[in-house]
Structure 1
Amino acid sequence: MRNRPKVVLVSIDSRFIHTNIALRYIKAFTKDLEYDCLMMEYTIQSPLMDMLDDILDCEPDMVGFSTYIWNVEQVSRISRLIRLARPSIRLLFGGPEVSWNAEESLMGLKGDYIIAGEGEETYRELIEKCLDNMETSGSFSLGDNDEVRGLATIRNGIPMVYPPRDKMDLARLPFPYSMDEDLSDRIACIEASRGCPYSCSYCLSSAEKDLRFRSVASVMDDVESLLKLGAKLVKFMDRTFNAHPDAAEVFRRIISLDTSAVFHFEMSPSMVNDAQMEVLKEAPPGRIQFETGVQSTDENVLHLIRRHSKGFREGLLSLLTLGNIHHHLDLIAGLPMDTMESFRRSFNEVYSLGPDVLQLGFLKIIRGTPMESEVKRWGMVHSPFPPYQVISTATMGRADVGRLKAAEKALDKYHNSGKFVNSLTYAASFHEDPLVFFEGLGNALDSEGYRVRSPSSDDYYRIFLMYSARVLEMKAGFEPGLMRDLVKYDFLLWNRRQGIPFFLERIDKDTNDIRRKLKREEGVVGHVEWFENDVVSHISGNERNPGPVAVLFDKSRTHGKIITL
């Protein structure tokens, strides 16, 4: 007979590569208690019935769910199935999607407990009191008179929300990962702080004012441990990393590490200072990634969402000019008083800065945020279902939002994928309005039936070539042949097969003798392709040689090299 109670903590992520740090924290924070705690990880694509069997086979006394905007529907379904199959199991929920209104969420999910806010100390006290009650009553649950700050529960069929708990001292945070985990193919997460210095009206973080920081030593101890577990991508979960007073020192230590791992940070350009800039200049290329929420460049829009913008442009430009850091910039469509024209200006201004990734997102009316109470003021219509995306506003109609969705699709597939760098750079240099260019490219995808399904790899390149040639053919200096060769070049960088699609017009010249000679005389193995135009010199900015030219793509396919015959 089993004496120790068992809790199963369930994570449902968008992709398995993600790791849930919240559940790992509460598990590690209670590892000294006399109970068994298992963690089970799934994705939103995981079959519900398989998840149910997995969880029930563990014979848990309690099941806990980490609940977010992207998984709340799956969490709701699997928890209801557990309730039907095994009514005696206690159901615990936590996370931002249930914390904002714990009483309503508790009733809607038919749960037993909800942790509202930070979970470590509340979860520990819950488990401790459940263990105590088990000693006296045999039931792994709260006793009739037990109260736990930061918790909501059901008493006699009525939801009861206990007073909030004080924020914990971050020095008490344990290392969240188990030392037998393999993080080589997953995103490893870490925190250097909690809280946010800003009060953006669309974000739940606007309600959390207690900005707290961990010491540099504790942060770097965790970094070293993550690297020992094979982490190749370490993501700092801080809402504004460089608000940390010792951000420059953390950067310095990460830059000095002997590792090929990549470190991802969310940054506020307004808070970039000289000390940070001096350190960041020394970062080896590829070591650091920055994500920055620009959201809009319209000062009126920024004011209406209570987003501080002083020094933002200057700081962003300083970061972008470093040249050794990968930059991911975010824009949000559908903000208060934003129009197609003002958003077009924002998009084109930010695109012109040359970010590696430009994310075009749509406003989500997250429950519990100040924005939720302002939807009537701004004439917003939004989906009542997660992720609560805006359908239209008083200043941006549904058709406008549809146009931006087309642009977002093309932007993600062609710019953000990194697979069209050379051909897109050439095409964009002839188009005065990047947003219009991407909107038209998205419409070209939709017109071929790809609104709700994905094209093949070949079709992405074919549609890009067809669209670009059509809209740019009358532009002075535009060369259709060079455009085709640049598309062919990008295609070969990312496709390792020997053949190429018909629309890229392969030159009928033999390459077998060249490849054999390269292998015999230089030990080089790769793919050789003929081009009408000297694309390699064009890309590098050098004077182009007369064509046709043969280009070698080695096994790595990172670049092409002209072969001198």
Structure 2
Amino acid sequence: MKVALISHPDKIHQKPDFPPIGIAYLGAIAHKNGFETLLIDGGQTAVPDIIEELKRFSPDFIGVTCWTINRETVWELCAKIKLVAPDTFLALGGSHASLFPQHVFAKTHAAAVAVGEGEETFRELLEALAGNGDLKKVNGLVLRNADGSVFFTEKRQRIQDLDSIPFPYYEGFKGFDLNNYLGFPSLPRPTAPIISSRGCVFDCSYCSSVSFWGNCWRGRSAENILAEIEWLVKEMGARSIYFFDDNFTVKKERVIEVCEGIKRLGLDIKWACCSHVRLASPELLQKMHECGCVGIDYGVESGSNKILHQINKKQTRADIEKAFDAAHAAGINPRAYLMVGNTGETCETIDETIDLIGRINPKSSIGAQIVWLLPGTKDYQTAVANNYLTDEYWLNTGGVPYNLQEHSLKELSKLRERLMRGIAKKKGGLIPLLAFYMKKFYYRFPKLAVLRSYIPDIFK
């Protein structure tokens, strides 16, 4: 049986930061179980080109990742798949499909939706299809019945042994080369992604991680992580690693084991990760830096304690300042995620954020995202409860809505500009201001997003 998997098809095609590791994991499952497997990076491949690839490969099974932000392109792709391969088994997965399987069936001819964590569900689904098994006995699926109704199979339990998942099957992408991806700023290219854990111990109001992975944290063993790093360096040519975990430093002992293993194996790599400001002690950061860590991303979000409490961030300004001071002291470059438009946002809270950024002096900032109402988040649930929007919104054409319950989009845009201008002025000089306005141009014309690699960061 031939299997084709397509990641997050998008209308905008540009050089991405990293390969789509999600379908590479699924591809590894299919390949390990003897299925001929083709992987297509939908972020780099236009819909007509995807269709041509499918026609050449002639798969028996097609799987498509559906995120909220790309759902309309998924509907378009599925309509074209129906024209060229109407009898091929089509299944969708991903966060949006998991939350709204009925919408998938309303918008596409898909036969099944895989809900939540997909590796075991995917393996059993392929085995059932190959052996004419009963799909209703495969846990974690929503199936379309012949009469148009839907059938929910038993809920899939989360994978407890993440070491059992094979390493990503990057060979499934035609002409795969890590050098075709932008990687992470300040890390030497090529950079490979690793997901060493799933889930988060926090429950921020704007984040959908808990709804997808559950309010728990599961980690791979240090030995398994080190084996993947060694494979990526020796077989894939990686010179650096970015850990895509929500919080890489949840388990301090595991981080130390990974660090010591990198040194023991003589792996000459640089790496970066994400963390929470309360989960990285000065001692741990020093150990990380000694073993190749050069960057760490923190979800700062706001400089206002009121806002931080409102979004259930479980951190304060003091926590943030302490974490950034520790990173600087260890020789690690900290970056700051920022948000604009959480409930209670005002000019005063924006000014508090500007003041905080001046104090913590991050190496760079990852934008200043106006808050979205993403399905699966507490913010979204509140908006639905307030009759601000309904689940049926996602059946219509439209992007992910901003949280406009307190401010208009124009007002939020002004608040965002106030923040970015304030930060640029605080850093001083002409280059930061020029970089700010160039980035405004890039955000307005997203097809030029690739230019971001050449735009000086406003914090340098």
Same-fold call, TM cutoff 0.5: yes
| CA shift in 2, pair 1:406/1:297, >3 Å | closer
Residues 387-406 of structure 1: matches in 2 within 5 Å? 387-390=399-402, 392-394=404-406, 396-406=407-417
In 2, distance between residues paired with 1:171 and 1:450? 40
> TM-score with structure 1 length normalisation?
0.67
The question of 1:211 aligning with 2:226 is answered no
**Is the contact made by 1:66 and 1:95 (CA closer than 8 Å) also made in structure 2?**
yes
Match of 1:189 among 187, 193, 203: 193
CA positional deviation for 1:72: 2.4
User: Could you tell me how far 1:360 is from its partner in structure 2?
Assistant: 0.8
**Number of the residue aligned with 2:163:** 171
Distance 1:268 1:407, change over 3 A: same
- 1:272, distance to aligned residue in structure 2 (A): 1.6
**Structure 2 length-normalised TM:** 0.81
Residues 1:150 and 2:155 are matched in the alignment: no
Change (3 A) 1:147 1:408: farther
Q: Tell me the SS of whatever aligns to 2:39.
A: strand
Amino acid at match of 2:158: K
Give the superposition deviation at 1:402. Answer: 2.1
CA change 1:381–1:91 in 2 (3 A) is closer
Q: Does structure 1 residue 297 correspond to structure 2 residue 288?
A: no
| Structure 2 unaligned spans of 5+ | 182-190
**Which residue of 2 is the match for residue 50 of structure 1?**
49
Query: Secondary structure of the equivalent of 1:368?
Result: coil
1:199 aligned residue: 203
8 A Cα contact 1:320 1:353, kept in partner: no
d(CA) in 1 for partners of 2:388, 2:267: 48
- CA drift of 1:453 comes to 5.2
Alignment partner of 1:348: what SS?
helix
CA distance in 2, matches of 1:381, 1:189: 36
Query: What is the distance in 2 between the residues matched to 1:86 and 1:452?
Result: 37
Which residue of structure 1 aligns with residue 231 of structure 2?
Answer: 225
What is the Cα deviation at residue 215 of structure 1?
0.9
Cα distance in 2 between the residues matched to 1:252 and 1:409? 39
The residue number in structure 2 matching 1:335 is: 342
Q: Give the residue type in structure 1 aligned to 2:155.
A: P
| CA apart distance, 1:281 | 4.9
| Corresponding residue for residue 357 of structure 1 | 364
- Relative to its length, the structure with more helix (as a share) is 2
- 2:278 is paired with a residue whose SS is helix
Larger Rg: 1
| Greater relative contact order, per chain length (Cα 8 Å cut-off, separation 6+) | 2
Deviation at residue 451 of structure 1 after TM alignment: 8.4
Q: Which moved further from structure 2: 229-238 or 256-265?
A: 256-265
For residue 393 of structure 1, what is the amino acid of its counterpart? Q
- Structure 1 counterpart of 2:336, which letter? L
| 1:10 to 2:17 alignment | no
SS at match of 1:71: helix
Deviation (angstroms), 1:387: 4.9
Pick the aligned partner of 1:322 from 309, 321, 329: 329
Q: Does 1:309 align with 2:301?
A: no
- After superposition, the CA RMSD in angstroms is 3.7
CA contact (8 A) 1:364 1:389 kept: yes
Aligned to 1:97: 96
Q: Deviations over 1:301-326 (max 9, x none)?
A: 22222221167325423333326222
In the alignment, is residue 251 of structure 1 matched against residue 263 of structure 2?
no
Q: Is the 8 A contact 2:285 2:327 kept in 1?
A: no
What's the CA shift string for 1:515-563, capped at 9, x where partnerless? xxxxxxxxxxxxxxxxxxxxxxxxxxxxxxxxxxxxxxxxxxxxxxxxx
Q: Which residue of 2 is the match for residue 282 of structure 1?
A: 290
Distance 1:230 1:410 in 2: 40
Identity %: 21
What do the CA deviations read for 1:347-366 (whole angstroms, capped 9, x no partner)? 33124422121121111111
The DSSP-based 3-state class of the residue aligned with 1:375 is: helix
Give the Cα–Cα distance (whole angstroms) in 1 for the partners of residues 362 and 386 of structure 2. 31
CA distance in 2, matches of 1:198, 1:81: 40
User: For residues 54 and 421 of structure 2, what CA distance do their matches in structure 1 show?
Assistant: 40
Report which stretch shifted further, 163-172 or 379-388: 379-388
Contact 1:191 1:238 (8 Å CA) reproduced: yes
- Structure 1 pair 424–210 and aligned structure 2 pair: CA distance change class (3 A): closer
**Contact 1:94–1:115 (CA<8 Å) still a contact in 2?**
yes
What is the letter of the counterpart of residue 217 of structure 1? E
* Range moving further from structure 2, 375-384 or 243-252: 375-384
Structure-1 residue corresponding to 2:152: 161
Whole-Å separation in 2 of the counterparts to 1:376 and 1:6:
42
Give the conservation status (yes or no) of the 8 Å contact 1:236–1:266: yes
Q: CA deviation at 1:17?
A: 4.5
Task: State the distance in 2 between where 1:450 and 1:306 align.
Answer: 31
Unaligned runs of 5+ in 1: 134-141, 416-422, 461-489, 495-565
Q: Amino acid of the residue matched to residue 366 of structure 1?
A: L
Letter in 1 for 2:257: E
Cα distance, 1:40–1:409 mapped onto 2, change above 3 Å: farther
Matches within 5 A, 1:110-121: 110-121=109-120
1:317-342 deviation digits (Å, cap 9, x = unpaired): 33333262222211111111122221
Q: Is the 8 A contact 2:15 2:180 kept in 1?
A: no
Q: Which amino acid counterpart does residue 361 of structure 2 have in structure 1?
A: G
Alpha-carbon distance between aligned partners in 1 of 2:81 and 2:123, rounded to the nearest angstrom: 23
- Which amino acid is 2:412 matched to? V
Structure 2 vs 1, CA of residues 261 and 275 (structure 1 numbering), >3 Å: closer, same or farther? Answer: same
Q: CA deviation at 1:223?
A: 0.6
